A and B are shown apart, each in its own frame.
Chain A
Amino acid sequence: MTGAALWEGKAMAMSQSAIKGWYLVHKWTSLICTLFLLMLCVTGLPLIFHEELEHALEGPGALEQVAPGTVAPGIDAIVAKVLASRPGEVVQYASFDDERPIVTIGTAPKADSPPAALHNQPVDLRTGKFVPPTPKMTGFLEVMNKLHTEMFAGVYGTWFLGLMGALFLAALVSGVVIYAPFMRKLAFGTVRKTRSTRLKWLDLHNMLGVVLTGWLFVVGATGVFNTLDLPLAMWWRGGQLAEMTAPYRNLPPPTRIGPVSEAIDAAAQASPGMKVSTISWPGTFFSTPHHYNVFMVGTTPVTSKLLKPSLVDAQTGKLTDTRDMPLLIKALFLSRPLHFGDYGELPLKIIWALLDVAAIVVLGSGVYLWLGRRRAPIVRHVDEILSGSEA
């Protein structure tokens, strides 16, 4: 019996063997992923509040007052100053802060040096003064982040966690399927606390699980999607970026790189109403040897997350092409806030954390239910589901 047939109103007709099948799917997908899901829920908890924790641990880093009449130095002078402080290095990117007048310049020995080689220097746009780097994921938070995203195993760790997430989604679906026969005789949200410990935990598992299903599915699916970050970036680079810059493919490397301010002007002119988010320098991963890639963003909560690449010829300062990202990449950008829960101020983060704690109870009660009856013959489990534990 398929899930589709189930939705045609034949749930009550689910045969014993169908229930047995779905129960086994639920049991095994859950068992395989639960330990990792528990780890993800626990490490994810402090990560929800990483901004707040960073500020609390390192101080707010308030910006200094600027005397009226101070002339801002301009981005080209800021880039030159950062380069002068990092002999032998080149710029890889510049990133503008959403809220504060700060630009962070990333330098490295070479344009294609790996991220680990980056040196990030935040600079006050109003004065050109260096400001201390904003604390980012250091110490405890860095450990939590590494565990949560890759378990210290690089991209293979990330993909393994993606696989665990996919199993978790299967556990959710199969859980909803066996919820139907179990609930035939029961009212929504029934929790029978006094009959037996097992029944109390079983009802709690079902009640919390069914209320959380939508949230768990969205956070789970967006998490799985985010594990594909790197292949998606490579796909975009080999696809849209290559298309946009096709005429340059066989040209010799440029002899002169023009100022970044020209690239910013050209990109801003091509996308009125948008602002600059990040600029990739010529020769870096998200650009070509011939181009500055100026990523523009909109100003609404949704459009501020959708980067729009603008390729500007670094020699001439003229726009080569600007396009909206493909749908798949836009979906990736929007899936991030839906996974992190960081898009609705502090109250949403607190709610996110409490939902996460409830999810831990669902996982924990699932393990408890399995431990209690792991030697019981499967027919007893099917009976339990079919009867809703009502005699």
Chain B
Amino acid sequence: MKPQPRTAGSLWRIFRWPLAVALVTLVGLLSALIGDGPYDALSWLLLGGLLALMAVLWRRGG
């Protein structure tokens, strides 16, 4: 195998989406804990978003 560029940039490229997903997860998990009503709804939206993301990535795969 060939040597690859060894920069922090590629680490950022690999983990920027997973980090964004983790942030969405964290906010989704905490919002329903902090409040009711709209806070619950935000939680449904964000954690439901994880399900939607997995479905989209699976369907898009070729």
A binds B: yes
Q: Taking beta carbons and an 8 Å cutoff, which residues of A are in contact with B?
A: 7-13, 176, 179-180, 183-184, 188-194, 200, 203-204, 207-208, 210-215, 218, 300-302, 334, 337-338, 343-345, 347-348, 351-352, 354-355, 358, 383, 386-387
Q: Is the CB of A9 within 8 A of B51?
A: no
Assess A188 versus B44: contact at CB under 8 Å? Given A194-B62, A218-B25: no
- Is there contact, CB below 8 Å, between B22 and A214? yes
15 pairs of residues in contact across A and B, judged by CB atoms under 8 Å: A9-B8, A9-B9, A10-B6, A12-B6, A180-B15, A188-B14, A188-B18, A189-B53, A191-B58, A203-B61, A211-B21, A218-B25, A301-B33, A347-B48, A355-B50
A348 adjacent to B43 (CB under 8 Å): yes
Is the beta-carbon distance between A210 and B18 smaller than 8 angstroms? yes
CB distance from A179 to the nearest CB of B (A): 8
Check if B33 sits within 8 Å of A215, measured CB to CB: no
Query: In the assembled complex, which residues on chain A have CB atoms less than 8 Å from the CB atom of B26?
Result: 214, 218
Contact assessment for A189 and B35 in the assembled complex, using a CB-CB cutoff below 8 Å = no
Q: For chain B, what secondary structure do more than half of its interface residues adopt (helix, strand, loop), or is it mixed? A: helix
Q: A347 contacts which chain B residues (CB < 8 A)?
A: 40, 44, 48
Separation in Å of the A275 CB from the closest CB of chain B?
A: 17
| CB-based nearest A residue for B57 | A189
**Residues of A contacting B9 in the complex (Cβ-Cβ under 8 angstroms):** 9
Give residues of chain B (1-21) contacting chain A, Cβ–Cβ below 8 Å: 1, 4-11, 14-18, 21
Are the C-beta atoms of A348 and B40 separated by less than 8 Å?
yes
Alpha-carbon gap, A11 to B4, bound state (A): 10
From A300, A351, A355, A387, name the one whose CB has the most chain B CB atoms within 10 angstroms.
A351
| Separation of A302 and B36 alpha carbons in the complex (Å) | 10
User: With contacts A12-B4, A344-B43, A348-B47 known, is A302 near B57, CB below 8 A?
Assistant: no
| In the complex, chain A residues whose CB is within 8 Å of the CB of B32 | 301, 343-344, 348
Q: Which residue of B lies closest to A204 (CB)?
A: B58
| Neighbouring B residues of A352 by C-beta, 8 Å | 47
Of B22, B40, B47, B58, which one neighbours A355 at CB under 8 angstroms?
B47
Which B residues are within 8 Å of any A CB, using their own CB? 1, 4-11, 14-18, 21-22, 25-26, 29, 32-36, 39-40, 43-44, 47-48, 50-51, 53-54, 57-58, 60-62
Contact B50 A300 (CB under 8 A): no
- 7 residue pairs, one from A and one from B, having the closest CB atoms: A9-B8, A191-B61, A344-B32, A214-B25, A189-B57, A188-B17, A214-B22
Do residues B25 and A191 form an inter-chain contact, with CB atoms below 8 A?
A: no
Which residue in A189, A204, A218 is a CB contact (below 8 Å) of B29? Answer: A218
Distance of A385 from chain B, by nearest CB (Å): 11
* Residue pair B34, A302 in contact (C-beta under 8 Å): yes
Nearest-Cβ distance from residue B11 to partner chain A, whole angstroms: 5
Contact A12 B7 (CB under 8 A): yes
State whether A343 touches B33 (Cβ < 8 A).
yes
**Residues of chain A lying within 8 A (CB to CB) of residue B61:** 190-193, 200, 203
Closest chain B residue, CB of each to CB of A218: B29
B7, A344: Cβ atoms under 8 Å? Answer: no
Contact B33 A213 (CB under 8 A): no
Give the complex CA separation of A183 and B14 in angstroms.
Answer: 7
Closest to A219 in B: B29
Partner of A210, one of B21, B35, B48: B21
A358 adjacent to B51 (CB under 8 Å): yes
Write out the residue numbers on chain B whose beta carbons fall within 8 Å of the beta carbon of A179. 14, 18
Chain B residues in 8 Å Cβ range of A337? 33
Known A12-B5, A191-B60; contact A344-B40, beta-carbon cutoff 8 A: yes
Q: Closest residue of chain B to A383, judged by CB?
A: B1
Task: Please state if B10 and A348 are interface contacts (CB–CB under 8 Å).
Answer: no
- When chains A and B are docked, how far (Å) is the Cα of A13 from the Cα of B11? 11
